[in-house]
Structure 1
Amino acid sequence: MRPLLRPSAYFIWNSYGYKSRPQRIISQFLMLKRKLEVLGEDSIVQPPSQFRKMATQPVTTTIELTPKETQLKDLLLDAAKFIDESGETRDPVVLRWAGGWVRDKLLGIESHDIDTAINTMTGEAFVLKLRELCEQPDTIKKHAIAESDIGGLHKIAANPEKSKHLETATIRLLGYDVDFVNLRKETYAQDSRNPQMEFGTAEEDALRRDATVNALFYNLNTGKVEDFTTGLADMKSRLIRTPLEPFQTFMDDPLRVLRLVRFASRLEFTIDPAAEKVMGDPRVLDALRLKISRERVGVELEKMLKGKHPRKCLEYINHLGLYHTIFTDPSNEHMPTPNISTWKIAYDCLDSLRLNKTPGSIYDVLVRSDEAAYHAWILAAVCPWENVEDPKHSGKGKPPPPLVTQVVREGIKAPSKLCELTTAAHNNRAEIMSLVTAVSDKAPFITERDRFGMAIRQWNNKNCDWRLQVLYALLHEAIDTLGGESNGQVTKDEFLRKWQAFLDHLHEIDVMEAPSLKRLIDGTQLSKALGVKPGRWMNQALDVCVAWQLRHPEATDPAGAVEEVQSRRAELGIPKGTGK
């Protein structure tokens, strides 16, 4: 076989009009090399003129549309015809469904999110003409359009400084969320990493995407799938790889590192070793940490952990060396790094609990909603930070949140609810562990409902799910017990039996729902019974009443609770009153 890398290849690609850096030209040629290798050796030895033909003619296949998808396709094609007849564009409008919808359709996965690429105009301009067409009675009748079938137009602006290069128009159509954007190519100035987005061909658009399996198009005009890279072959091989050279692909948009992790885990595909090799490159990690907004990092992580294979995502993050780039505060130059050598134990343990869920099991008791499941994975992710000592507070002003909360708040821009949960899990872990140990050791006080019930109510303060805090304590202890110096002395089954016994005990003494326990007496009634005005003493006094109520679960009259508060007036700081 003749040498593949020959000078003419450079000029063939260059003559296509790619205004790119030399390394990008080489990347494009290497992509063509892969494509030719898939097609066979005979293709590789074609003369230069044949290279040009093969580079522009995509591999194709077909897709069978559902009736609803066909309805949407016909409507969009009529909109394209409407625009053509208006004379607003120089060339006929060609529409393509792109990326994820095509990939999922080929895999037999249902999708209601459709990206539509347009060859001659912006997405916003197309949607405005589409809406104009949909107001015409003939169109409404032809396509059976109901009033609720056409939603409002939303535009998402580009933000190149944060690697959000695309302006997108979104509209709800016939039950689908449809994004519209023009076909694009990227050109780079020598002094900038941010590309200038220009109208491009379908092939140029495919080359600038994150993965070959996401670079497929379904041409609405021809009814065929178009593959300008090696997407169809990679789908067959269950492989995630970049259309162009991986390092440049990731430097152009570092978020693609996380996107490839998400797609690989979601689809259960393998990441191309050539891409894996550079995903942990310090230059790529620096770009991911500093160039990409943490909100986008958080959104990508959330999509990972809400998918079907969250453990696989964390495994990739661990294996590829991404942990310290994701779970950190990038604004803090002196941010420490935790030891993650045994972190695997935490996410493996959580996944094992999830997969072995049965009525009354640890996961069944502690994780009770989809939101809780996502929060559980976040807590598993940040467990290593629990062993990093928080800086000492100077005593001036409000103390900063613990480091583990800073990581959640600044690293992935988690909402306040998740940040408060993380803080509570950190602050209450020691007390949770002490009660778990007490139950395991059969301490004399473990039958005291008020001790356990009041602790659970305190953990649940500000609606911070106490069950997830217990899970966090479990996962952290798993790291220390199953991966620390005591490794081998305690088996995983023995370890989990201790925690199952703790939860069973909480159920036996009936304190699981302590946070929602309805008080027998409220603050107004207690003030009246004591003959004093409400004051700072009130919260503590009401806690005394709830503790009494926990000790007397059959009581319906609060008189006994009031009597106990009366006996502790001095301790609680209650002023003298009428003494009713």
Structure 2
Amino acid sequence: MSKRKSDASEKEHFASRPPQIRKMAQPTATTIIQLTPQEERLKSLLLEVARHVNETQEGRDPVILRWAGGWVRDKLLGIQSHDIDTAINVMTGAHFSAEIVALCKIPEMVEKHNVTETDIGNLHKIAANPEKSKHLETTTIKLFDFDVDFVNLRKETYSEDSRNPQVEFGTAEEDALRRDATVNALFYNLNTGKVEDFTGGLADMDNKLIKTPLDPFQTFMDDPLRVLRLVRFASRLQFTIDPNAEKVMGDSKVMQALRLKISRERVGVEVEKMLKGDHPRDALERINTLGLYHTVFTDPGKADAPKPDISNWRTVYECLDRLREARTPGSIYDVLVHTKEAAYFSWVMAAVVPWSPFVNSSQKPGKQPPPYATLAAREGIKAPNKVCDVITGAERHRPDIMALKNAVCAKEPYINERDRFGMAIRHWEARGGQWRLQVLSAFLVEAWQVLDVTTKDTDKERDFLKGWQLFLDHLQEIDVMEAPMLKRLIDGRQLAKELGIKPGPWMTRALEVCVAWQLRNPEATDPVGAVEEVRSKAKDLEIELPVPEKIRLSGD
């Protein structure tokens, strides 16, 4: 990396720019941010380190520190943040961080800033990784309970024949112009105590507008991940995306660049943040309306994969959002979604519902291929294994789930058979996990199939919800919700001993017979009845029971 203009030469740099650009770029320095006492401590320490560097390293431009991006935005919105990006004008983040650690070992500095052993954490360097669009090394250190990243101001220059930019030291303006959105391009100058705005970010904050500092098309082609970052910030902040940016976010060239230029891990990080945020429905709505679905939720490695119909996808995430908003004790959402993790899983499942009609027929010896919905989550957004397992289970168990739900709605004569329902739930849990979310997936798929939010058929929607509520209420009534947690009255070793035979392949099925018997006899505390149940089904279970003594004698 080569050194470029310093902050000391910024006035000269502005003067050299065309008048129309110079007018836009002059920083606004009238906005004041009120710091908390802990932030004041951090600011004081960093300025002390900067003064020390300036005094000991003569012949160079003075160090100027700025807090950048998200922390500034959130402070202006009244949101407290413990992650602070610190931009440095004339030295690398690693160099400045090393100065902090060294000075905090000096007794005078420790006493002056009241630094304790727990106030200063270890340095962590995150290496540059151009192949994953991380173009500069970052150094992170824990300071006064803040996670502080240090990096130098930089300029990024992209060329058509390279996916990776040339990165140089830059001015604050150049650093602001390379960012994804104007609201993320604000600086808090620690030396002046004021906000600097080189891109119109303060006005866009007032107008609740997400806008790129430079031409949107070029911004997205330089780094296509910015498309998803703008979606995330717009949904998180409840801002509107600039219409000029919206026009090109779904452009075929931009989408192709997103597929080829950005790792799926980074795509997944952005989507995960969206779906774990406060407005996941809005994030999916923007992905839908901007035409991003087939680029995000897909398996990029399967060019021959089918293309799902998303014309009614809106019904899915709208329905899930309504469930969440209408949550009451015992309601569908309350019964099926118990944790923050489950809430995130539910939105991933909503995202891949359009893949549910397709059957993956690719053949691999000895192994059933994963459903297309699983591949869309696993390969498209690199979803965690746990959520992929749930999606796989939901896809494979949906026929059984629907059969039991429809039976309850139709009041079939067998719906009070606890073993039928309890053993099904145990099966779902054992093969996929989180059976409640598998049921939610079946709910979402049926909503996608039978409802249409654009028609506003409230009677049809009410009957649909009533059927699922009836099903879940019935599971509660027959007390099978905790069936996977049912403790067996007898284990395999004990069962083999009671039967007088050695353990073998028969054991798994025999123990299931015992559990089914327990579900039919919830008050039982003695497993004798379960053992007799296994004896009675010995032939079906392929168990060779010992011949009783009297029968052997008479046979002789």
Quick one: which amino acid aligns to residue 480 of structure 2?
V
Equivalent residue, structure 2, for 1:263 = 233
Deviation of 1:407 (Å)? 0.9
- Report the identity percentage: 65
Equivalent residue, structure 2, for 1:10 = none
Q: For 1:507-526, what per-residue CA distance to the aligned partner results, in whole angstroms no more than 9, with x for missing partners?
A: 00000000001111111111
Equivalent residue, structure 2, for 1:442 = 411
- Report the aligned-residue RMSD: 2.3
Equivalent residue, structure 2, for 1:96 = 66
Distance 2:209 2:451 in 1: 34
* 1:64 counterpart = 2:53: no
522 and 428 in structure 1: CA distance in 2 versus 1, 3 angstrom threshold: same
Equivalent residue, structure 2, for 1:167 = 137
Quick one: which amino acid aligns to residue 565 of structure 1?
V
Equivalent residue, structure 2, for 1:225 = 195
Tell me, yes or no, if the aligned pair for 2:501 and 2:545 is still in contact at 8 Å: yes
Equivalent residue, structure 2, for 1:337 = 307
Deviation of 1:416 (Å)? 1.2
Q: Map 1:344-359 onto structure 2 (within 5 A).
A: 344-359=314-329
365 and 391 in structure 1: CA distance in 2 versus 1, 3 angstrom threshold: closer
70 and 530 in structure 1: CA distance in 2 versus 1, 3 angstrom threshold: same
In structure 2, list runs of 5 or more residues that go unmatched. Answer: 1-9, 550-556
521 and 506 in structure 1: CA distance in 2 versus 1, 3 angstrom threshold: same
* 1:548 counterpart = 2:535: no
Distance 1:244 1:50 in 2: 14
Quick one: which amino acid aligns to residue 55 of structure 2?
E
Tell me, yes or no, if the aligned pair for 2:391 and 2:432 is still in contact at 8 Å: no
* 1:211 counterpart = 2:181: yes
Deviation of 1:311 (Å)? 0.2
Tell me, yes or no, if the aligned pair for 2:24 and 2:200 is still in contact at 8 Å: no
Deviation of 1:102 (Å)? 0.2
Equivalent residue, structure 2, for 1:44 = none
Q: For 1:330-356, what per-residue CA distance to the aligned partner results, in whole angstroms no more than 9, with x for missing partners?
A: 111112210000000000000000000
Q: For 1:364-412, what per-residue CA distance to the aligned partner results, in whole angstroms no more than 9, with x for missing partners?
A: 0000000000000000010010022x24344634232111111111111
Give the TM-score taking structure 2 as reference length: 0.93
Q: For 1:21-52, what per-residue CA distance to the aligned partner results, in whole angstroms no more than 9, with x for missing partners?
A: xxxx9xxx9xxxxxxxxxxxxxxxxxx66964
Quick one: which amino acid aligns to residue 447 of structure 1?
N
Distance 1:385 1:237 in 2: 38
Which residue among 323, 330, 338 is the counterpart of 1:368?
Answer: 338
Deviation of 1:576 (Å)? 3.0
Which residue among 114, 122, 144 is the counterpart of 1:144?
Answer: 114
Q: For 1:89-126, what per-residue CA distance to the aligned partner results, in whole angstroms no more than 9, with x for missing partners?
A: 72111110000000000000111111110001111111
Deviation of 1:494 (Å)? 1.0
Deviation of 1:489 (Å)? 9.8
Which residue among 42, 46, 50 is the counterpart of 1:76?
Answer: 46
Distance 2:303 2:213 in 1: 35
Deviation of 1:545 (Å)? 0.4
238 and 527 in structure 1: CA distance in 2 versus 1, 3 angstrom threshold: same
* 1:107 counterpart = 2:77: yes
Equivalent residue, structure 1, for 2:469 = 500
340 and 155 in structure 1: CA distance in 2 versus 1, 3 angstrom threshold: same
Distance 1:172 1:181 in 2: 15
* SS of residue matched to 1:556: coil
Give the TM-score taking structure 1 as reference length: 0.89
* SS of residue matched to 2:303: coil
Which residue among 103, 122, 130 is the counterpart of 1:133?
Answer: 103
Distance 2:455 2:512 in 1: 40
Which residue among 242, 261, 286 is the counterpart of 2:212?
Answer: 242
Q: For 1:125-153, what per-residue CA distance to the aligned partner results, in whole angstroms no more than 9, with x for missing partners?
A: 11111111111111221112121111111
* SS of residue matched to 1:221: coil
Judge which range, 51-60 or 197-206, deviates more.
51-60
* SS of residue matched to 1:61: coil
Distance 1:277 1:71 in 2: 45
454 and 400 in structure 1: CA distance in 2 versus 1, 3 angstrom threshold: same
* 1:407 counterpart = 2:376: yes
487 and 394 in structure 1: CA distance in 2 versus 1, 3 angstrom threshold: farther
Judge which range, 427-436 or 179-188, deviates more.
179-188
Q: How many residues align?
A: 539
Deviation of 1:81 (Å)? 1.4
Distance 2:39 2:465 in 1: 49
* 1:564 counterpart = 2:526: no
Judge which range, 139-148 or 547-556, deviates more.
139-148
Equivalent residue, structure 2, for 1:525 = 494
* 1:421 counterpart = 2:390: yes
Tell me, yes or no, if the aligned pair for 2:393 and 2:431 is still in contact at 8 Å: no
Deviation of 1:315 (Å)? 0.1
141 and 523 in structure 1: CA distance in 2 versus 1, 3 angstrom threshold: same
Tell me, yes or no, if the aligned pair for 2:314 and 2:453 is still in contact at 8 Å: no
* SS of residue matched to 1:564: helix
Tell me, yes or no, if the aligned pair for 1:481 and 1:490 is still in contact at 8 Å: no
49 and 451 in structure 1: CA distance in 2 versus 1, 3 angstrom threshold: closer
107 and 194 in structure 1: CA distance in 2 versus 1, 3 angstrom threshold: same
Tell me, yes or no, if the aligned pair for 1:327 and 1:382 is still in contact at 8 Å: yes
* 1:197 counterpart = 2:167: yes
Tell me, yes or no, if the aligned pair for 1:211 and 1:242 is still in contact at 8 Å: yes
Deviation of 1:88 (Å)? 7.2
Quick one: which amino acid aligns to residue 335 of structure 1?
A
* SS of residue matched to 2:414: helix
* 1:303 counterpart = 2:273: yes
Tell me, yes or no, if the aligned pair for 2:394 and 2:432 is still in contact at 8 Å: no
Tell me, yes or no, if the aligned pair for 1:239 and 1:272 is still in contact at 8 Å: yes
Distance 1:351 1:323 in 2: 18
Distance 2:389 2:548 in 1: 40
In structure 1, list runs of 5 or more residues that go unmatched. Answer: 1-12, 19-24, 30-47
